Amino acid sequence: MARSAPKPRTTAKPAAEPTPATPAKPAARPRGRAAAARQTEDLLSILELGGYTQPAQGRIVQIFEVACRLFAGKGFDGVSMRDLALECGISKATLYHYFPDKDSLLRPLAMGVTKAIYLHVARHDDPSLGAPDRLRRCVVESARFFERHRWAWIASASTFWNDPELRFRRERIGWRDRYERLVREILEAGIAAGEIRPLDVPVAGRMILGAINWMPRWYDPKGPLTAPDIAQSFCDMVLGGILAPAKRAPARKPRAPA
């Protein structure tokens, strides 16, 4: 029997080269890292760590950042050391190694914010300006400070009276009073110069500070206005209500006919 002719070998086609992938856009992480680094620097710039023996870095900074958010969101009494440890991803034993109790976390935050807001506003005050401009600058710079240190501000405001140590509470009240006194001095200077009508200075001062202090409760950073923009609107409304009425120019006498 004749042999059948062998079938020709089929040469396998080489696998197609994979299409080079389009280079992906850089991930947003570097930007996130930069923002996180700025937030850390901002927090460190206001913490009042006098007498604290360990350097504020690494784990300690993380604990302070978490404490800011939790105290601001739940209130001081609504946060336990266990909550803080869980949020930080550490054990309670590790947390207690750094901080013996919540008060030791609260104190540098509350004292730091109360002192830093006054120093920030006082640094931007210019007594050579008229009272309306000084008041506007005071309110806008307060809002700018709040926008930069939002969580720390809210945490400090919501825990202002919680410190059981009377000495630290008095010191914090002293810095708050300096801030309030600056606002009153501006109002008094405006009244003396005739730029602001006579009014109850303590009441007016508390009204202005109350508007600033409550803004963090409802302000939305994603909204159309920045905190300084809102502060400008506050000033427009406040000054529109307390400025002295403009003096009318005297009427001109008609000329006698020649």
The model's pLDDT over 55-112, given as tens digits with 9 standing for 90+, comes to 556 788 889 999 989 998 888 889 999 999 999 999 999 999 999 999 888 888 888 8
What integer pLDDT is reported at residue 256 of this predicted model? 53
Report, as an integer, the average pLDDT of 235-239.
Answer: 87
- Cα–Cα–Cα angle for 151, 235, 242, nearest 5°? 135
The per-residue pLDDT for 156 is: 83
Q: Which long-range contacts (CB under 8 A, 24 or more apart) does 117-126 make?
A: 117/142, 117/145, 117/146, 117/153, 117/179, 118/175, 118/176, 118/178, 118/179, 118/182, 120/145, 121/145, 121/179, 121/182, 122/178, 122/182, 125/182, 125/186
Residue 15 has pLDDT above 50, yes or no: no
**The pLDDT of residue 229:** 92
> Mean of the per-residue pLDDT values for the chain?
80
Structure tokens at 181: 């006194």
pLDDT of residue 36: 66
- How many angstroms separate the Cα of 253 from the Cα of each of 17, 77, 120? 96, 72, 52
Encode pLDDT of 105-138 as tens digits.
888 888 889 999 999 999 999 999 999 999 999 9
User: Are 163 and 101 a contacting pair, CB within 8 Å?
Assistant: no
Which residue carries 């708050």 as its tokens? 176
Which amino acid is located at 57 in the chain?
A: Q
pLDDT of residue 140: 95
What lies within 8 Å, CB to CB, of 191 at 6+ separation is 131, 197, 198, 199, 201
Q: Where are the alpha helices (DSSP H) in 1-130?
A: 29-46, 59-74, 81-88, 92-98, 103-124
Please, which residues have CB within 8 angstroms of residue 80's CB and are 6 or more apart in sequence?
Answer: 102
- pLDDT value of position 161: 64
Position of tokens 């460190």?
Answer: 44
pLDDT at 28 over 50: no
Question: How far, CA to CA in Å, does 147 sit from each of 42, 52, 100?
Answer: 11, 27, 30
Least confident of 7-11, 26-30, 124-128, 206-210: 26-30
Percent of the chain residues past pLDDT 90, beyond the cut: 41
pLDDT band with cut points at 50, 70 and 90 for residue 31? very low
CA distance 60 to 64: 6
Domains annotated for the chain, with CATH where assigned, are: 108-242 (1.10.357.10)
Mean pLDDT of 3-13: 48
The answer on pLDDT for 149 being more than 50 is yes
Question: What pLDDT is stored for residue 54 in this prediction?
Answer: 55
Q: What confidence category does residue 174 fall into, taking pLDDT thresholds of 50, 70 and 90?
A: very high
Q: pLDDT by residue (tens digit) across 201-236?
A: 999 999 999 988 888 778 888 889 999 999 999 888
Residue 219 C-beta-side C-alpha neighbours within 13 Å: 23
pLDDT (average), residues 159-171:
71
